[in-house]
């Protein structure tokens, strides 16, 4: 990474036109408005530290206005009463608009978050559009059931007619993190809209730009006023108010485990529904029969993709002792070849981390690994004009209970350990407070499938990692949270089951 590569970067015209709209506003009841305090905060290009926009600093009062708009739109507005096919058509229009603006959205995501452009352009932004398309398909398929009963005490000559309905849960507060902002937002908004809910969206303070642009596109797609509302601002103010608000029916949260716990506490006032997509420390296992020509690059990609700022990052690698030296050498070689640079530079493979503060936190874990007796084979250093780049890092020889081996680092830091037996690796992989995802590399599908069944994880990939699809449920066990995004399971998060039992 050189300073020159950072200085040469400029986004395209559409992204520049969007950036020139700064200061960016809140979206409440169909209007773009300033925060009630009139305050803003700066958002930065993490590669350079340059200010790239001013974001409205929504406060509790703004959340109250947004919730009122969403509440009114749900209770009296047309959205929930709109036919499923009409909702489906609008969701398809949102997907069309995302696809039509894909380059702009990918550039904004890179500028705001730092990620290499290809991550947004080819994975996350198409993934966001796919969420709206998938749930557009499910909107007309929401159905209850008619249920035969064994009730014997109905009046003579009468019958029981019992059925269930699936009804929109109501006003949803969607709170999302900074690592993959647009696609994680789409994972909440698409099923919520398909179900007929109304929404108040609170993006992460470090990465609000694509949420603002997405809400512009959603408004353009023709949603009625008040169905989608956007309050940018700090988690401790806007986020906390949303989580505690008595008129919010459900919080759909993605973020850290500690914030997830705060949200559960805040939600208790009205016992709102909560789903939590939280942190992870996901194990990847290379079995003795793995094909190393795919397992080594696959395990490297599992941790280094998006700078390791991925909830399901394969940050603990367990390698069978017979392959250990070869795998360590192979992954170190890949780590050292990864080209760091500004995310918009065409040859960049890994951008900066989201902020210099986060880079310093990641680097502190590498120092802790050294203090705990670990061997750092490569990387670990912070660099760049804004001290935000962290070189891909490979660590071995750490005890399993060292901080770097068991806490979520959320950066490009891989800890490798060896194992002898399947029982041993199952015990080690499951010895974690997290249970989000896991990966297995093995040419023996039967053994790999049986191993997958023994791993405590919401998702297990075999001979791959991070294969996402809008149809595949993703979410955690243990302290990685509860509830699922994506797939039919996600739609259920936004629906309440009503039973109607009639004597007819
Ligand atoms: P974070 O918990 O700090 O913040 C997430 C969101 O919560 C932000 O919008 C923030 O403003 C808001 N927030 C902060 N305090 C709040 C409060 N008291 N009440 C309500 N909202 C509050 O997380 P982060 O650092 O932005 O994101 C990284 C974390 O997200 C990692 O732990 C990562 O594993 C997790 N993550 C999980 C998944 C998943 O699907 N399981 C996906 C992506 C990221």
Q: Are 88 and 160 in the same domain?
A: yes
How many angstroms separate the CA atoms of 112 and 66, rounded? 25
Residue 327 within a domain = yes
- Which of 67, 127, 177 to mutate to test ligand 1, by most ligand atoms within 8 A of the CB atom? 177
**Catalytic residue ranges:** 277, 311
Residue 477 within a domain = no
Residues in CB range of 263: below 8 A, 6 or more apart: 175, 243, 251, 253, 274, 276
Summary mean pLDDT of the chain: 96
Distance from Cα 330 to the centre of ligand 1, integer Å: 33
What is the residue with the minimal CA distance to atom 17 of ligand 1?
A: 240
pLDDT, position 494: 98
Whether residue 1 is predicted with pLDDT greater than 50 in this model: the reply is: no
Instruction: Please indicate whether residue 268 or residue 4 has the higher confidence score (pLDDT).
Output: 268
- Quick one: which atom of ligand 1 is closest to the CA of 276? 41
Peptide bond into 348 cis (omega under 30): no
Whether residue 6 is predicted with pLDDT greater than 70 in this model: the reply is: no
Q: Are 353 and 384 in the same domain?
A: yes
Q: What angle do CA 187, 470, 273 make, to 5 degrees?
A: 40
Distance from Cα 143 to the centre of ligand 1, integer Å: 33
pLDDT, position 477: 98
pLDDT, position 8: 58
Q: Are 303 and 256 in the same domain?
A: no
How many angstroms separate the CA atoms of 208 and 201, rounded? 10
- Quick one: which atom of ligand 1 is closest to the CA of 481? 41
Q: Are 101 and 201 in the same domain?
A: yes
Distance from Cα 203 to the centre of ligand 1, integer Å: 9
- Quick one: which atom of ligand 1 is closest to the CA of 279? 34
* Closest of 463, 411, 475 to residue 278, by C-alpha: 475
Distance from Cα 270 to the centre of ligand 1, integer Å: 22
The mean per-residue pLDDT over the stretch 288-307 comes to 98
Query: pLDDT confidence of 45, banded at 50, 70, 90?
Result: very high
Q: Are 123 and 257 in the same domain?
A: yes
Percentage, residues of the chain above pLDDT 90: 96
Q: Are 138 and 29 in the same domain?
A: yes
Query: What digits encode the pLDDT tens for the residues 142-164?
Result: 999 999 999 988 888 999 999 99
Q: Are 322 and 424 in the same domain?
A: yes
Q: Are 21 and 114 in the same domain?
A: yes
Residue 75 within a domain = yes
Burial group, residue 236, by CB count within 10 angstroms (0-12, 13-18, 19+): exposed
How many angstroms separate the CA atoms of 335 and 413, rounded? 10
Query: What digits encode the pLDDT tens for the residues 423-482?
Result: 999 999 999 999 999 999 999 999 999 999 999 999 999 999 999 999 999 999 999 999
Number of domains in the chain: 2
> Which range of residues forms the domain containing residue 167?
7-278+482-500
The mean per-residue pLDDT over the stretch 382-408 comes to 97
The mean per-residue pLDDT over the stretch 276-291 comes to 98
- Quick one: which atom of ligand 1 is closest to the CA of 436? 41
Residue 55 within a domain = yes
Residue 476 within a domain = no
Whether residue 77 is predicted with pLDDT greater than 90 in this model: the reply is: no
Handedness of CA 453, 457, 459, 464 (dihedral sign): negative
Q: Are 144 and 36 in the same domain?
A: yes
Residue 1 within a domain = no
The strand pair at 26-28 and 31-33 is best described as antiparallel
pLDDT, position 390: 98
DSSP state of 285: E
Whether residue 365 is predicted with pLDDT greater than 90 in this model: the reply is: yes
Whether residue 199 is predicted with pLDDT greater than 90 in this model: the reply is: yes
pLDDT, position 81: 84
* Closest of 414, 412, 403 to residue 330, by C-alpha: 414
Percentage, residues of the chain above pLDDT 70: 98
Residue 307 within a domain = yes
Q: Are 269 and 287 in the same domain?
A: no
pLDDT, position 2: 43
* Closest of 253, 257, 259 to residue 236, by C-alpha: 259
Residue 406 within a domain = yes
Distance from Cα 256 to the centre of ligand 1, integer Å: 4
Query: pLDDT confidence of 78, banded at 50, 70, 90?
Result: confident
What is the residue with the minimal CA distance to atom 16 of ligand 1?
A: 235
The mean per-residue pLDDT over the stretch 241-255 comes to 98
- Which of 113, 185, 256, 486 to mutate to test ligand 1, by most ligand atoms within 8 A of the CB atom? 256
* CATH number of the structural domain spanning residue 101: 3.40.605.10
Q: Are 239 and 317 in the same domain?
A: no
Distance from Cα 485 to the centre of ligand 1, integer Å: 15
Q: Are 287 and 266 in the same domain?
A: no
pLDDT, position 184: 98
Whether residue 402 is predicted with pLDDT greater than 50 in this model: the reply is: yes
- Which of 186, 203, 255 to mutate to test ligand 1, by most ligand atoms within 8 A of the CB atom? 255
Burial 276-294 (b: 16+ CB within 10 A, else e): bbbbbbbbbbbbbebebee
What is the residue with the minimal CA distance to atom 34 of ligand 1?
A: 279
The mean per-residue pLDDT over the stretch 192-213 comes to 98
* CATH number of the structural domain spanning residue 419: 3.40.309.10
SS3 track for 438-471: EEEECCCHHHHHHHHHHCCCCEEEECCCCCCCCC
pLDDT, position 31: 98
In the structure, which protein residues have their CB atom closer than 6 angstroms to any atom of ligand 1?
Answer: 175-179, 184, 202, 204-205, 235-236, 239-240, 243, 254-256, 259, 262-263, 277-280, 311, 408, 410, 436, 476, 480-481
């Amino acid at each position: 990474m050189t300073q020159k590569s950072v200085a040469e970067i400029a986004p395209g015209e559409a992204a520049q036109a969007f950036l020139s709209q700064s200061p960016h506003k809140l979206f409440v009841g169909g209007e773009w408005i300033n925060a009630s305090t009139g305050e803003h905060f700066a958002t930065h290009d993490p590669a350079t530290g340059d200010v790239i926009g001013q974001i409205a600093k929504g406060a509790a009062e703004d959340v109250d206005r947004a919730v009122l708009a969403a509440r009114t739109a749900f209770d009296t507005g047309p959205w929930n009463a709109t036919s499923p096919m009409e909702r489906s058509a609008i969701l398809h229009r949102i997907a069309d608009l995302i696809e039509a603006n894909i380059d702009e959205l990918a550039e904004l995501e890179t500028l705001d978050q730092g990620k290499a452009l290809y991550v947004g352009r080819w994975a996350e932004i198409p993934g966001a559009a796919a969420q709206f398309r998938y749930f557009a398909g499910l909107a007309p398929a929401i159905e209850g059931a008619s249920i035969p009963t064994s009730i014997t005490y109905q009046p003579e000559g009468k019958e029981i007619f019992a059925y269930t309905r699936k009804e929109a849960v109501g006003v949803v507060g969607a709170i999302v993190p900074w690592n993959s902002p647009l696609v994680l937002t789409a994972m909440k908004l698409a099923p919520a809209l398909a179900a007929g809910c109304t929404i108040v969206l609170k993006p992460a303070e470090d990465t609000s730009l694509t949420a603002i642009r997405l809400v512009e596109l959603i408004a353009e797609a023709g949603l009625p006023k008040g169905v989608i509302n956007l309050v940018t601002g700090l988690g401790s103010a806007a986020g906390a108010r949303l989580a505690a608000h008595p008129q919010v029916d459900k919080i759909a949260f993605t973020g850290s485990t500690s914030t997830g716990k705060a949200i559960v506490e805040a939600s208790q006032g009205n016992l709102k529904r909560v789903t939590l997509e939280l942190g992870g420390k996901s194990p990847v296992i290379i079995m003795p029969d793995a094909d190393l020509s795919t397992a080594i690059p696959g395990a490297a990609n599992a941790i280094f993709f998006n700078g390791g700022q991925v909830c399901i990052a394969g940050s603990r690698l367990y390698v069978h002792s017979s392959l250990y030296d070869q795998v360590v050498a192979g992954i170190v070689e890949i780590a050292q070849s990864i080209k760091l640079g500004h995310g918009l530079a065409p040859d960049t493979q890994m951008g900066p981390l989201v902020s210099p503060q986060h880079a310093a936190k990641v680097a502190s874990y590498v120092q802790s690994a050294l203090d705990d007796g670990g061997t750092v084979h490569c990387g670990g250093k912070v660099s760049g004009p804004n001290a935000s780049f962290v070189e891909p890092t490979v660590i071995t020889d750490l005890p399993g209970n060292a901080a770097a081996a068991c806490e979520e680092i959320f950066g490009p830091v891989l800890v490798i350990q060896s194992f002898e037996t399947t029982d041993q690796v199952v015990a080690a992989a499951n010895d974690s407070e997290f249970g989000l995802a896991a990966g297995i590399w093995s040419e023996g599908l039967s053994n790999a499938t049986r191993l997958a069944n023994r791993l405590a994880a919401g998702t297990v990939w075999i001979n791959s990692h991070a294969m996402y699809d809008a149809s595949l449920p993703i979410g955690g066990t243990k302290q990685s949270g509860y509830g699922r995004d994506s797939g039919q399971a996600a739609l259920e998060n936004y629906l309440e089951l009503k039973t109607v039992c009639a004597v007819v």
